[in-house]
Structure 1
Amino acid sequence: MNYHKLKVAVIGAGASGLCAARHLLSRPHVFAPPVVYELSNCVGGTWVYTDKVGRDDYGLPIHSSMYRDLRTNLPKEVMSFPDFPFDSQLPSFIHHSDVRSYLEQYADHFEIQPHIKFRTHVELLNPVSGTTGDAWNSWEITSLNLNNHCRNTERFDSVIVCNGHYSEPFIPHIPEIEHFKGQKMHSHEYRCFQTC
């Protein structure tokens, strides 16, 4: 019997993307190894701190909203994946760098790194019509490798989108805000108190 393994793409190598990839890899009889698209050059998603705000070197929005001295507002005991606990020596409320390190260890432990296409920007995700023409049965991803500027289109049976929901600041309309003379800044752009 010829059995088709499902080809799945994962967009994003933050906590959700890594978890999705880990579970796809744990079922090799059902799924082909996943292809994980990651815009940055490392795993961690929003937990990757940078001093930069605005746009990166490629003109793309800075993803992380981390500020320099951030500690988690949840204890690590409830943040961990059930099958991969945090280091017990860490305090309950940990620095953001500890979360990033944890995600790097998770990716290494479950051998996810070889399946990640780093510095790859997903430009387009399109459903592909099935043979009847009235429903789609696969997806096409067009991506751009930011290192060599090569575009690539691949087809997948399924796509898991894990690109985060804290990366784009929401700025509500405030009547008369144009008359405010002080500095206006969204927390997404905050990194440290002005003396740093």
Structure 2
Amino acid sequence: MTIRVAVIGAGAAGLCALRHLTTRQPTFQAVCFEQNSRVGGTWIYTDQTGVDDHGLPIHSSMYKNLRTNLPKEVMAFPDFPFRKDLPSFVRHEDMLDYLESYADRFDLLKYIKLSTTVDLVHPQKHTDKVEWQITYKTLTDPDVIPVTETFDAVMVCNGHYSVPMIPSVPGLDLFRGKVTHSHDYRYPSEFEGQRVACLGAAASGQDISVDVSSAAKHVLNSL
């Protein structure tokens, strides 16, 4: 019996899932759907913010000077180490290169539908099992009619960093300065000579505070 599996997203989790599914053929038959034109998920850097060329929300929160806050020795897949010449804390470009190399090494691209969005995942209940209807469409040709296929299982690997969480801050609507979320932060020159308050002191808050300080007049990092 062959089990058809839909993998949504070709970032780190999606590529790893696809690598293990495709080594267990013909038990599993996998298809991966990725809305970007390349693999890498959140590690695909772009200067764009807001929406992309297709009108879709920008997925990545990468900023220009970002380095990982975990060492490569911890982040690497067990059977695919990083290049030895790289430092422990790599740049986002190195992380993207690593994932693209992983996809090449295990010949995964042939299972991935790039520039393709999944519009609907719908369960179909039967007496003895549940099947999943996946409706998807290509972004390269907007006139193409969406396609619906049936799968036995779905692995959702689209990450959880693409939708910014913006808390309700009393008085924020009265603030006359610039308000931006870390999801839309790209480079420190945007804040040249300005006084900047970074709200939040977790990993991204601390890192962006340091990055912004290279250009800003004054930076306050607040919990």
Q: Report the TM-score when normalising by structure 2.
A: 0.82
For residues 28-39 of structure 1, what are the structure 2 equivalents within 5 Å? 28-32=25-29, 34-39=30-35
In the other structure, the counterpart of 2:148 is 153
Q: For 1:80-136, what per-residue CA distance to the aligned partner results, in whole angstroms no more than 9, with x for missing partners?
A: 000100011111111000000000000000111011100101100000121x3xx75
Q: Who is 1:103 aligned against?
A: 99
Q: Is the 8 A contact 1:13 1:36 kept in 2?
A: yes
Provide the alpha-carbon RMSD of the alignment: 1.3
Q: How much has 1:29 moved relative to structure 2?
A: 3.7
Structure 1 distance, partners of 2:130, 2:60, is 34
- 2:3 aligns to what SS in structure 1? coil
SS in structure 1 opposite 2:28? coil
State the number of aligned residues: 189
Q: Which has the higher contact order (CA 8 A, sep 6+)?
A: 1
Which of 185, 193, 199 is equivalent to 1:190? 185
Task: Give the match for residue 58 of structure 2.
Answer: 62
Q: Which runs of 5+ in 1 are unaligned?
A: none
Contact 1:65 1:190 (8 Å CA) reproduced: yes
Q: 2:8: which partner in 1?
A: 11
Q: Which runs of 4+ in 1 moved over 6 A?
A: none
Give 1:168 shift.
Answer: 0.6
Aligned to 1:169: 164
Distance 1:20 1:29 in 2: 16
- Counterpart amino acid of 1:72? T
Equivalent residue letter for 2:175: F
Counterparts of 1:27 and 1:136, CA distance in 2 = 22
Question: Could you tell me which residue of structure 1 aligns to residue 37 of structure 2?
Answer: 41
Partner of 1:114: 110
Identity of aligned residues (%): 54
Query: Contact 1:127–1:136 at 8 Å: present in 2 too?
Result: no
Residue identity matched to 1:67:
Y
Secondary structure of the equivalent of 1:7? strand
Which residue number corresponds to residue 94 of structure 1?
90
**Ranges in structure 2 where 5+ consecutive residues have no aligned partner:** 193-214, 216-223
